[in-house]
Amino acid sequence: GAVVSQHPSWVICKSGTSVKIECRSLDFQATTMFWYRQFPKQSLMLMATSNEGSKATYEQGVEKDKFLINHASLTLSTLTVTSAHPEDSSFYICSVASGVTDTQYFGPGTRLTVL
């Protein structure tokens, strides 16, 4: 399967600042990447689908101006949480889809804590 990395693995920031999270596909050219958010003891919530060279597709209820997604190349997608607030604290996970069945391969996740 595809190997996916995320950076940073954890970040602590002050309320009102912006945080950028990188997702890299290390061995696979991913035209599509996905960004999920996971709350404690809950399932993954799809935030948006990131498409290389075009605008991301956001799920209903996800603020596109707050969660900026850039998929600048076939191996890199970034999620920027703008003007972060404590309620944005969460575990953010990216994935790439590979193959006909679109099996998803996940990054290790980024723990964001907003003080």
Q: Which is nearer to other proteins, 70 or 91 (CB)?
A: 91
Interaction pattern, residues 52-81, with other proteins; x per rule: CB under 8 A:
------------------------------
Planar angle of CA 63, 77, 8, nearest 5 degrees? 90
Rounded CA-CA distance 50/41 in Å is 25
How far apart, in whole angstroms, are the C-alpha atoms of residue 91 and residue 8? 12
Query: Which position among 25, 50, 90, 104 is part of the footprint of other proteins (CB under 8 A)?
Result: 104
Nearer to other proteins by Cβ, of 74 and 82: the residue is 74
